[in-house]
């Protein structure tokens, strides 16, 4: 009973804290409320000597076959951790590392014991050692980030030559429009790659729309008005996330997607400091992101298996679960 009360108290404190603190988009309580429908979410917190929150790591807790899992929520690229910046209060690098180590250690120790743990973190998080010391493992993933949004000419010149050619070609083939209906994005996205119910997608879209933190871009055929491609963009106070991109199967050779991205980059430049393309480690999406001249940024997938049966399955499937 005390543990349950402590967890609920953490969630309440965190929700209140987020009303004034500027945390990343995917860590916001309202985001987690929208996407964590197949289970429940909670949060591990770290506190400073004065009892103030100095670190946070939300988690999505689910159950299946009598086992407990912490995994990534649907439609969520990253989930933390957040650490209160201390550069202005700590001058020495060694002390700064010690501070980060303590905060991260407190967050790890505040996590519940589960049979399997799997989370992906923002590229700004670079020190997973406290996880390693507690028996967790790590795989490096990559995303691509566009910085220096104040110089759009430089960004355009940084595109691969064929991308700039495609953009000019597409300007005579499609119109780029923005709208409030997320339906076309869902319909354009190949369902085999989109393991999220429309209900969850719509719930998140409504939460984002209420806060004016999403924009839906569509490329429509210049002559027929048909939706050819779509891009779903979300943002917080610092970063825009190119969350979902889709193109009609029969129009994959079209140059529409490059023009769509370029228009989204131009519109986001006035709102945020950087754009995260939410890139994939698969060859095709990686090549597309790289062609936009974006900066490659590693980020961590941290995982742990606390069940011997799952460890055996992971070895048989050659998956990094142990």
Provide block-wise average pLDDT over 10 residues at a time, the chain (322 residues). 53 96 97 92 95 97 92 96 82 87 97 96 97 97 95 96 94 93 86 75 97 97 92 98 88 84 97 93 85 96 79 53 47
pLDDT for the residue 283:
81
pLDDT for the residue 176:
96
Neighbour-count burial of 282, counting CB atoms closer than 10 A to its CB (0-12 exposed, 13-18 middle, 19+ buried):
exposed
Q: How many other CB atoms are found less than 10 A from the CB of residue 229?
A: 28
Cis peptide before 81 (omega within 30 of 0): yes
In the chain, where does the domain assigned CATH 3.40.630.30 lie? 2-143+298-317, 148-272
pLDDT for the residue 186:
85
pLDDT for the residue 5:
38
- The answer regarding whether domain 148-272 maps to CATH 3.20.20.105 reads no
Sign (positive/negative) of CA torsion 255, 261, 264, 266? Answer: negative
- The answer regarding whether domain 2-143+298-317 maps to CATH 3.40.50.720 reads no
pLDDT for the residue 165:
95
Nearest to 43 by CA among 87, 86, 73: 73
């Amino acid at each position: 009973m005390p543990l349950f009360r402590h967890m609920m108290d953490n969630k309440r404190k965190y929700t209140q804290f987020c009303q004034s603190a500027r945390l990343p988009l995917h860590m916001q309580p309202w985001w987690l409320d929208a996407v964590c429908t197949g289970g429940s979410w909670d949060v591990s917190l770290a506190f400073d000597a004065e009892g103030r929150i100095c670190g946070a790591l939300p988690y999505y807790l689910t159950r299946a076959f009598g086992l407990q899992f912490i995994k990534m929520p649907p439609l969520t690229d990253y989930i933390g951790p957040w650490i209160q910046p201390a550069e202005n209060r700590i001058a020495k690098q060694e002390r700064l590392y010690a501070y980060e180590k303590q905060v991260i250690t407190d967050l790890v120790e505040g996590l519940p014991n589960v049979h399997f743990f799997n989370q992906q973190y923002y590229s700004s998080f670079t020190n997973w050692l406290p996880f390693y010391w507690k028996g967790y493992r790590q795989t490096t993933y990559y995303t691509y980030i566009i910085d220096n949004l104040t110089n759009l000419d430089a960004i355009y010149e940084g595109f691969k030559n064929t991308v700039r050619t495609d953009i000019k070609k597409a300007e005579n083939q499609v119109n780029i429009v923005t709208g409030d209906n997320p339906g076309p994005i869902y319909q354009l996205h190949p369902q085999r790659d989109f393991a999220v119910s429309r209900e969850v997608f719509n719930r998140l879209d409504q939460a984002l729309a209420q806060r004016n933190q999403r924009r839906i871009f569509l490329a429509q055929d210049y002559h027929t008005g048909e939706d050819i491609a779509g891009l779903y963009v979300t943002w917080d106070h610092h970063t825009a996330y190119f969350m979902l991109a889709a193109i009609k199967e029969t129009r994959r050779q079209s140059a529409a997607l490059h023009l769509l991205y370029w228009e989204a980059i131009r519109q986001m430049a006035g709102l945020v400091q950087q754009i995260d393309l939410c890139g994939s480690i698969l060859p095709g999406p990686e090549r597309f992101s790289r062609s936009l001249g974006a900066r490659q940024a590693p980020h961590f997938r941290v995982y742990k298996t606390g069940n011997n049966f799952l460890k055996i399955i992971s070895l048989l499937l050659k998956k990094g679960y142990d």
